[in-house]
Structure 1
């Protein structure tokens, strides 16, 4: 997600593709960052929703792999359930399979949600779910999850309820 003068973006596009496969011109300076914080706000909200849903399913006696399979073939499917499931044992090669090590840190998610909150305030845009996600990730940072992947929200929710 890149913002700036379009001609300068086009001149740097080949170099930018070395940094990532998907390089998208978003408009003037700052628009790339705007797109990034919007994307990350949705990612945070989606991950919390996936973690809550999976936790409820476990509490109802559902097998987590079966629930993930059902979600991913139904209208609840999202990136957090299909590609980056937060429940240990559901998927291989994701942070939840490695005690939430690696991935995108909770501190970084809290920072991006803070940026989203600031811009929402500046533009008088209501983002109640974004605000709640920001609060959840800030509490997680204060309670020892700062260096874990943001998908550790599943573990945080399980601890909050006393399992």
Structure 2
């Protein structure tokens, strides 16, 4: 945690929060000095205590500059995105891509395992090839492939499936309002909503691998 003596002194007080709002509704917050969000580069309270969060900040640039030192107490990366609301926009885009990438990684790993490949070997190959992504090399969803990630702890901790479904819902809302086609984002939203209804709500979002494995078992059970 940040000790009081470590918090830098600033001349003015800042109204600051990391909650999400609909990007299209942010005009009511224009009077706020600084508005920011943290991205899922490293997850949770533990990441904040280690100062490893990434903050994407929207607001008046002068106020952002004054608050930057304070934000670095919790974040390894602090990025100014523009006016109020652009921080939320950046996070929406990041988390939609994160969900799509995680589902793709889970599908790929599952297919490789079904084809007889060792999951650790497959992950190694992916991570030295063009298929490499954050979900494959830093947050692999297959149990036993990596240590220190939720997949190695029955998908406990990390970033919850419910939260991912919520963020994807926000992405869908903004995509509809801006008339932006997001077919993969829409499909990812549907998958995570189904997961929430199937008992995965409190598990980490990488549990989509386990969910897919469960789906392949269902036809076999029905056949019995």
Match of 1:15 in 2: 70
Shift of 1:20: 1.1
Greater mean alpha carbon deviation, residues 79-88 or residues 16-25: 16-25
Structure 1 residues 161 and 40 mapped into 2: Cα distance closer, same or farther (>3 Å)? farther
Measure how far apart 1:30 and its partner are.
Answer: 0.3
- The 1:69–1:131 alpha-carbon spacing in structure 2 relative to 1, beyond 3 Å, is same
How many angstroms does 1:162 deviate by? 10
Q: Measure, in 2, the Cα distance between the counterparts of 1:56 and 1:65.
A: 14
CA RMSD of aligned residues (A): 2.0
1:52 is aligned to 2:107 = yes
**Structure 1 CA distance, aligned partners of 2:156 and 2:222?**
23
Deviation at 1:19, TM superposition (A): 1.9
**C-alpha spacing 1:63/1:162, structure 2 compared with 1 (3 Å):** farther
Number of residue pairs matched by the alignment: 163
**Alignment TM-score, normalising by the size of structure 1:** 0.97
Q: What is the Cα deviation at residue 134 of structure 1?
A: 0.3
TM-score scaled by length of structure 2 = 0.71
* Equivalences for residues 95-134 of structure 1 within 5 A: 95-134=150-189
- Aligned counterparts of 1:124 and 1:160: Cα–Cα separation in 2: 42
Displacement, 1:59?
A: 0.4
Please list the CA deviations of residues 7-26 of structure 1 after superposition, one character each: whole Å capped at 9, or x if unmatched.
11111000111121111000
Provide Cα deviations, 1:104-129, integer angstroms capped at 9, x if missing partner. Answer: 11011000000000000000000000
Displacement of 1:161 after TM fit?
11
Q: Which SS does the other structure have where 1:88 is aligned?
A: coil
Gaps of at least 5 residues in structure 1 are: none
Distance 1:109 1:23 in 2: 22
User: What secondary structure is seen at the aligned counterpart in 2 of 1:22?
Assistant: strand
Larger helix fraction of residues: 1
If each structure's strand is expressed as a fraction of its own residues, which one has the higher value? 2
Ranked by relative contact order (alpha carbons within 8 Å, sequence separation 6 or more), the top structure is 1
Report the 3-state secondary structure (helix = DSSP H, G, I; strand = E; otherwise coil) of the residue aligned with 1:76: coil
Deviations 1:28-74 (A, max 9, x none): 00000000010000000000000000000010000000000000000
Separation in structure 2 between the aligned mates of residue 106 and residue 161 of structure 1, nearest angstrom: 27
CA distance in 1, matches of 2:223, 2:68: 50
List, as ranges, runs of 4+ consecutive aligned residues in structure 1 with deviation greater than 4 Å. Answer: 159-163
